[in-house]
Structure 1
Amino acid sequence: MYDEDTVQINSHASRIGLKGSEAMTANTDVIYRLEYGTSIDGDNATFSNRDTYLGVVNKQFGEFRVGKNQSSLARIDNVVVNQGYWDNLGQTENESEVVNALNMADSARINSSVIWTAPKYEGLPLQLSAMYSSDDANGNDNAGFGVAMLFDQGTGYTAGIAYDKDQNIDGEIIRGTATVDLGKYMAAPVTLGALYQVGDYDGQDKDEKGLVVSAQMGLNNFARPAAVYAQYNKTDNLNGFNNVDSDQIVVGGKYFFKDNIIAHAYAGVNNADNVGYTYNTGNQDPITNEDIFATSNGDAQVVVVGTGLEYLF
């Protein structure tokens, strides 16, 4: 097995870009966004494409975005509170080694996609989204699609449900979420959230089942806004493989020096059982002289303690 202790300087989700809109008619605007991720620590390529789209928004017909869009699964993802290294739901690859997936499948940005957001109607507290992606955006030559609906009437609780096919995985995902802001009902500045998801992978015998439970509490005894949070993730049958399971627990906090300058601190551990990994045998092919790799199964543990500073501009 692989074992490593290291100190890293990382740039999590740093990005730069531009977005805006311009009126076409009294009821229709053109909208655009060009966003690139950047690694300020220099570990990765200077720029990587993120959300990039051109679209229109109309008061009667809603909003259409065409380009590279975050999938409709993300439209109901208001449960995850983790930050920094742990700011992910799944498909986490430990950069240098070992684990292919530590958590359930998550929403990703989908190439060659169109996403529609329904207009909001007075008295109907629903956000409805639908998405289509062409068959060149996934690995099975099937066009993908997804739908999502979030109920939020501004009274302190939300509920969401989403369906995704051949977009984030080769297969189907069903996700449900719920949150409640206890501060709306009692003297407790706590927000609770839960997410449950089932992923049906093509060619696999087992469904991947994932659960996320989170809590975040605002702190009122500081000069500026601050909060602490905790989140638990549990996934059974990672990537559809039987008895490949993981558990993750993270605690952390954040402090707002200003609205756009935020300090973060967090600690977490992820344990995964029976995961597949690839390793170098130390031998070479006698004909090609290339290294020979082998695969095996084993347990993996990732422990991360981190701190950082976030600047929004």
Structure 2
Amino acid sequence: MKKLLLASAVAALSVSAANAAPTVYGKIFLTADYVDEELKGGNEKYDENGVEINSQGSRVGFKGSEPLSANTDVVYQLEYGIDVDGDDHQTFKNRDTYLGLKNNTFGEFRAGKNQSTTDYINNVVVNEGYWDNLGSTKLGDEQKVAALNMADSGRISNSIVWMAPKFDGVPVQFAAMYGNDDDYAGEKNTGWGASLMFDQGAGYTFGLAYEKDLNLRSDVEFQVFNADGSPKLEDGKKVYETKFNGGDLIRGTATLDLATFNSGFPVTLGALYQEADYDYGDKKEKGYVVSAQMGLTNFAKPATIYAQYNNTSNLYGQNGFDSDQIVVGGKYYYQKNMIAHAYIGQNDADYDNVDGKVFAVGGGLEYKF
């Protein structure tokens, strides 16, 4: 009898430990890229080129769930980006990190740092490696030239996400988000968003997302002027005032898998259109992406090729600041978790008679675990 009780206790502990044990996952993605950057016009002149070793979205994470009751689970995820090539001062950077609850009736709630719901409908971008750059809207502090595109969806700190439960026979997924920026005081610095994805598994999808003061949230410095229009000075220096800048963003997406309708043509087409209305912008930023991806069958291993075109007008809400980008590339799957990449592309941007160009060709190896 004692042996039976002991065996039952060990089995119960084993089940409990198994439920509590997280899944460890991640990927290492390293590329070698030849990059040529040029900036011309006015008093600006910059031309640099060379080979770079880049870590592309490498990460490690821990995720899991454990029953809280018969119908509710505790869910969690801790995911961190890793700078494998070691050229960043911050080796680890948190990505999606949250604690939440999942219920079959009420859906799933996540609190922490979450990818914004605008990204939930983005199944159009196919670029990889160096050119997976949707969202570089302005030059960085240490960059003289950058490949610029429309505003993208990012991870929102201090946020809560609700994903509505899925119902049989209803091919839509709804999600909503609330975010609060603790760097600012006041209700005006909160934001929210929502997305709706239609996918009935028939070879086509449609998505629609709207957000306010989430991904467009940032600080903007404005020069201060006196009542007579002259610049305000302190100790002989111009005075600037920092203001909170937010805005509204709406995005729509659609994809079409031609293989569903013609098995001899394995091509997936995608289109994305977006408008971003910055609070302190001159005009709405408008952009679109079109992409195509095709599977290849004449290789020993699975392979795909892809092409993507990005076009943006009034970048960051600045009138006449435009860019376009074209990229082609391919992937070769040595195994499902070991993928070779190659790509070539160019981004052109112009503003106030200043033209910037970024050309890059490269490739690398991605390992998933």
TM-score in same-fold range (> 0.5): yes
Deviation at 1:210, TM superposition (A): 0.5
Aligned to 2:22: none
Q: Select which of 144, 160, 164 maps to 2:207.
A: 160
- C-alpha deviations, 1:6-61, integer Å up to 9, x for none? 10000010011211111111211101000111111101122111110000110000
1:130 aligns with 2:201: no
Matches within 5 A, 1:8-87: 8-44=52-88, 45-87=90-132
Once the two structures are aligned, what percentage of the paired residues are identical?
A: 62
Aligned to 1:143: 190
Q: Kindly provide the amino acid, as one letter, of the partner of residue 167 in structure 1.
A: L
1:89 aligns with 2:134: yes
Kindly indicate whether structure 1 or structure 2 has the higher relative contact order, using CA contacts under 8 Å at least 6 residues apart: 2
Once residues 217 and 41 of structure 1 are traced to their aligned partners in structure 2, the CA distance between those partners, rounded to angstroms, is 31
Q: Kindly provide the amino acid, as one letter, of the partner of residue 65 in structure 1.
A: R
1:250 aligns with 2:338: no
Structure 2 unaligned blocks of 5 or more: 1-44, 217-245
Of 98-107 and 2-11, the range deviating more from structure 2: 98-107
Aligned alpha-carbon RMSD (Å): 1.6
1:303 aligns with 2:359: yes
- C-alpha deviations, 1:206-244, integer Å up to 9, x for none? 000000000000001112110000000000000000010
Q: When you count helix as a share of all residues, which structure comes out higher?
A: 2
Query: Are the counterparts in 2 of residues 103 and 246 from structure 1 also a CA contact under 8 Å?
Result: yes
Larger Rg: 2
Question: Helix, strand or coil: the match of 1:127?
Answer: strand
- C-alpha deviations, 1:161-211, integer Å up to 9, x for none? 000110100101000000000000012100000000000000112000000
Aligned to 1:288: none
Q: Spell out structure 1 runs of 4+ moving beyond 3 A.
A: 92-96, 137-141
Aligned length: 292
Structure 1 residues 120 and 137, CA, compared in 2 at 3 Å: closer, same or farther?
farther
- C-alpha deviations, 1:65-91, integer Å up to 9, x for none? 100000011000000000001112122
Q: Kindly provide the amino acid, as one letter, of the partner of residue 128 in structure 1.
A: F
Q: TM-score, normalised by structure 1?
A: 0.90
Structure 1 unaligned blocks of 5 or more: 276-296
Once residues 41 and 139 of structure 1 are traced to their aligned partners in structure 2, the CA distance between those partners, rounded to angstroms, is 38
Structure 1 residues 95 and 14, CA, compared in 2 at 3 Å: closer, same or farther?
farther
Once residues 117 and 193 of structure 1 are traced to their aligned partners in structure 2, the CA distance between those partners, rounded to angstroms, is 24
Query: Are the counterparts in 2 of residues 28 and 59 from structure 1 also a CA contact under 8 Å?
Result: yes
Structure 1 residues 90 and 76, CA, compared in 2 at 3 Å: closer, same or farther?
same
Query: Are the counterparts in 2 of residues 15 and 35 from structure 1 also a CA contact under 8 Å?
Result: yes
Deviation at 1:94, TM superposition (A): 6.3
Once residues 95 and 126 of structure 1 are traced to their aligned partners in structure 2, the CA distance between those partners, rounded to angstroms, is 41
Query: Are the counterparts in 2 of residues 111 and 137 from structure 1 also a CA contact under 8 Å?
Result: no
- C-alpha deviations, 1:242-294, integer Å up to 9, x for none? 0100000000000000000000000000000117xxxxxxxxxxxxxxxxxxx
Query: Are the counterparts in 1 of residues 321 and 351 from structure 2 also a CA contact under 8 Å?
Result: yes
Once residues 139 and 270 of structure 1 are traced to their aligned partners in structure 2, the CA distance between those partners, rounded to angstroms, is 38
Structure 1 residues 137 and 60, CA, compared in 2 at 3 Å: closer, same or farther?
farther
1:174 aligns with 2:250: yes
Once residues 80 and 174 of structure 1 are traced to their aligned partners in structure 2, the CA distance between those partners, rounded to angstroms, is 17
Q: Kindly provide the amino acid, as one letter, of the partner of residue 155 in structure 1.
A: A
Deviation at 1:136, TM superposition (A): 2.2
Aligned to 1:279: none
Q: Kindly provide the amino acid, as one letter, of the partner of residue 366 in structure 2.
A: E
Q: Kindly provide the amino acid, as one letter, of the partner of residue 178 in structure 1.
A: A
Structure 1 residues 174 and 217, CA, compared in 2 at 3 Å: closer, same or farther?
same
Deviation at 1:101, TM superposition (A): 6.8
Aligned to 2:163: 117
Deviation at 1:97, TM superposition (A): 2.0
